[in-house]
Each structure stands twice: as C-alpha cells, then as structure tokens.
Amino acid sequence: MPDLLYKLTVNDAIKLDCIGADSLHLKRNDWCIAKNDRYQDNGRVTWVGPVPDGTDISEMPRVQRRATLVDQGKANENNFRSKSLHRSVQQRIDHHKLDMDLRSTHLTYDRKRVICVFTAEHRVDFRDLVKDLNHRLDARVELRHVGWRDYAGIVGGMGSCGRELCCSSFLTNFTSINLKMAKVQGASLNPSSLNGLCGRLKCCLDYEYEGYQVLLDKLPRIGERCTCEGCGSGRVIRQDALKQEVTLQLEDSRIVTVPADQVAPLQHASRG
C-alpha cells in the first residue's frame, strides 16, 4: 500500500505534514509519534488522506507509530517542562533587549530540541540569543518567526462575518492583499472594517476580487464620456459591478443611473 499524508497538530503553534504507512490505521484525533532527521515529536492527527501528486516527500517527517499511554505520559511531562522553559526563554529575550514577542515554547518528545515561536514587527537578529539559550538549556534551541496572519490562525477566533477565522479553519496559503482589492469591490476604506484580527487587510478581500474585475471590465470606466438613449451624453461618475449599472453626470448637470447596456462610449455613438 502507498504511504498516506498525515497532518499533525503538535501544539497550537506547531503543525506537521508527515508521511506514514496506511497500515498504521490512524484516524482523526489519534495521537502518534513522528520523526525527522533532527528530532522526534508527538502530535494529534487532524487529517489523513492520499499524498498529492508532485509532493516531495524526501525530507518530510515520517509517522513511526501510534502513541502509547507511556508516550502520552512523557508528552504531558514535556508540556509541564515547556512552561518552565518558556519563562527562561522570555527572561533571556528581555536580557538581550530584543523587540520580539514570544508566543509558544515547545519541548519535543525526545527532549532534544526546544522550539520557540515568536512574532515581531521587524526583522530580529537573534543569533546571540540562540547561542545564549543553547548554552543554558539542555537542548538545541530553534526560533521560528511567524507573521501576524499565521499567528491569528494559531490563536483562532471569530471574524466580523460571524464565522471562524479563515486562517484557522481552511486557509493554508496567504496571498498578497492590497487596498486596490477593496477599492475595486467598493468596500469602505475604514481600517476598522478592512482589517482582520491580525491587524492586516482581511484575506477574504481576495476571494471575489477576480470576479469583480471581470464584471468591471464590462462597464465604461469612471471619467469616460458616454451617451445614453433618452438621456443624452455625460460622464461616468460611478460604477456598480454587481448590478451592472453606471451613474452618469449629464451635460445639464443631472445625475442618472442606468443599466450599462443602455450606454455607449461617445465616440462609438458618433460613428453610428
């Protein structure tokens, strides 16, 4: 039988994509032990399925076995030790006066590595911190910088739409979001309505952006001079992509809103 893809949650901040044999018979919410070249860790299965075509599995961790009661006992003990390590790491961050926020500290199952997840507004040079921690802690320290969107997905929560955050439920790849997307969709440019819990522009601005672009391409552009049968000629001052309507300011200063299929660029009308 071919290997399967197992998605594991180690803790709120650390998730792993692993390869494992189908004969393990693991299902969602089962605990297991996985290993890569650097360390061994435990995690809870959140998804099992076939490996997508083209996936490079050469360096992916491998699920070794189902976790036993002894494994789970050791993992619980590691969780308690992680809390103490978290305080120690935070003390050294303060000592080095680094502008970074420590979010999570995790001691791996084999206790060979301490994984620290942090956020920061700007790039942080933490090389001296790592040397300090490696010297003080009886394990190799790994620092991982996550973006604010990634951290929002880790923490989770409810969006202004009333649903669970996209980044903590189904969204795995973040695309670049900009204000142009909001302008094209006619959304309010108020930061309180545009920004998500992460403080960045909402990822959902990208969902319908392409569709709005297609609809807007069918409308005369703002500022374009058009003619409308029964109204006369004027300049486009507003577009409604969903209704496929445009608002014209006519030459006599009247403002009318008409379906887009009733207007034509002025130069086209003159040829007719």
Strand bridging mode 113-119 / 31-35: unpaired
* Whether residue 163 is found in the same domain as residue 192: yes
Q: Which of 51, 67, 83 is the last residue of a domain?
A: 67
* Whether residue 141 is found in the same domain as residue 88: yes
Q: Which of 50, 67, 84 is the last residue of a domain?
A: 67
* Whether residue 124 is found in the same domain as residue 109: yes
Where b means 16+ CB within 10 Å and e means fewer, 91-123 reads ebbeeeebebebbbbbbbbbeebbbbbbbeeee
Residue 219 lies in a domain: no
* Whether residue 198 is found in the same domain as residue 231: no
Domain CATH code at residue 242: 2.30.30
Residue 30 lies in a domain: yes
Angle made by CA atoms 84, 124, 139, in degrees to the nearest 5: 35
- What local confidence, expressed as pLDDT, does residue 205 receive? 92
Task: Determine which of 35-49, 106-120, 162-176 has the lowest per-residue pLDDT on average.
Answer: 162-176
34 lies in which domain range? 4-67
Q: What is the arithmetic mean of pLDDT over 28-51?
A: 93
Angle made by CA atoms 234, 238, 242, in degrees to the nearest 5: 125
Residue 39 lies in a domain: yes
* Whether residue 10 is found in the same domain as residue 51: yes
CA dihedral 159→152→156→166, nearest 10 degrees, is: 50
Residue 237 lies in a domain: yes
Q: Token pair 């297991």 is at which residue?
A: 32
- What local confidence, expressed as pLDDT, does residue 269 receive? 43
Residue 15 lies in a domain: yes
196 token code pair = 């998500």
Task: Determine which of 159-163, 168-172, 201-205, 217-221 has the lowest per-residue pLDDT on average.
Answer: 168-172
* Whether residue 190 is found in the same domain as residue 163: yes
Residue 217 lies in a domain: no
Domain CATH code at residue 132: 3.30.300
Q: Token pair 């923490």 is at which residue?
A: 155
For residue 88, the SS3 value is helix
* Whether residue 60 is found in the same domain as residue 80: no
Q: What is the arithmetic mean of pLDDT over 176-202?
A: 89
Q: Give the chain's domain count.
A: 4
167 token code pair = 């980044």
- What local confidence, expressed as pLDDT, does residue 1 receive? 62
Q: What is the arithmetic mean of pLDDT over 2-8?
A: 91
Mean pLDDT of the chain: 90
What does the DSSP 8-state code read for residue 164?
Answer: B
* Whether residue 126 is found in the same domain as residue 86: yes
pLDDT higher than threshold 70 for residue 29? yes
Q: Which of 128, 146, 164 is the last residue of a domain?
A: 146
